[in-house]
Amino acid sequence: MIRRLLKSLLFPPMVIIAALLMFIEEWLWDHLTAAMARLARTRVVRALEVRLSRLPPYGAAAAFFLPGLLLLPVKISALFLIAHGFALAGLAVIITAKVIGTACAARLYAVCRPALLKLGWFRWLHDTVIRLKTRLYAAIRAMPGWATAVRWKNFIKSCIPRGGHFSRRWRAVGHMLRKRFSRKAP
């Protein structure tokens, strides 16, 4: 009786929190994959990716999990900062490490995916995460507040003018950065 009551009270917020985390992770994954693909146009990274794509399955798995292992000491130092009263600095380090780790993992997954999916345990894990994500999104879309949130999002999006001052500024900054970094070194 109490278990059912707790489940009915706690399940909806936990599903929302889990879905929010997955939405953020997926958004980061998509956008960082595109950013890393632009970085992959450089000669050094392209040569490294060719070598990575030729790795055997367990070599690809090692390469895929390496960024997470390398960022572990950084995250531990961020917890150290938080524990010693530097909460904002620690949080900034954790967020930066998360973004960098996700960017590396996204690109490594794109490059090493064929080899990774040859591993039975990785394929099982991959399929399980995809099924979980599908179930989670279905649970969120079935919630009554989903339709309201979508309507609000669409209304707010329709109120924001396209091609306004901010989008022109953003394009100008992007143009300036591309121009500055595309110059050849002397």
The confidence score (pLDDT) of residue 170 equals 74
Task: Give the pLDDT band (50/70/90) at residue 165.
Answer: low
pLDDT digits (tens, 9 = 90+) for 56-74: 999 999 998 888 888 889 9
Query: Cα–Cα distance between 108 and 45 in angstroms, integer?
Result: 11
Q: How far from the centroid of its chain's Cα atoms is residue 103's Cα?
A: 7
| pTM for the full predicted model | 0.62
Task: Give the pLDDT band (50/70/90) at residue 163.
Answer: low
Q: How far from the centroid of its chain's Cα atoms is residue 39's Cα?
A: 17
Between residues 5 and 112, the one the model is more confident about: 112
**% the chain with pLDDT above 70:** 92
Between residues 42 and 127, the one the model is more confident about: 127
- Report CA-CA distances (Å) from 51 to 48, 118, 147: 5, 18, 47
Query: Cα–Cα distance between 97 and 106 in angstroms, integer?
Result: 14
- Report CA-CA distances (Å) from 85 to 62, 67, 73, 95, 104: 35, 27, 19, 17, 30
Domain boundaries, the chain: 2-148
Q: What angle do CA 36, 108, 135 make, to 5 degrees?
A: 100
The confidence score (pLDDT) of residue 176 equals 81
pLDDT digits (tens, 9 = 90+) for 79-116: 999 999 999 999 999 989 888 888 888 888 888 999 99
The confidence score (pLDDT) of residue 152 equals 80
The confidence score (pLDDT) of residue 166 equals 67
Highest mean predicted confidence (pLDDT) among 24-38, 117-131, 159-173: 117-131
Query: Cα–Cα distance between 52 and 62 in angstroms, integer?
Result: 11
User: Is the alpha carbon torsion for 180, 67, 117, 46 positive or negative?
Assistant: positive
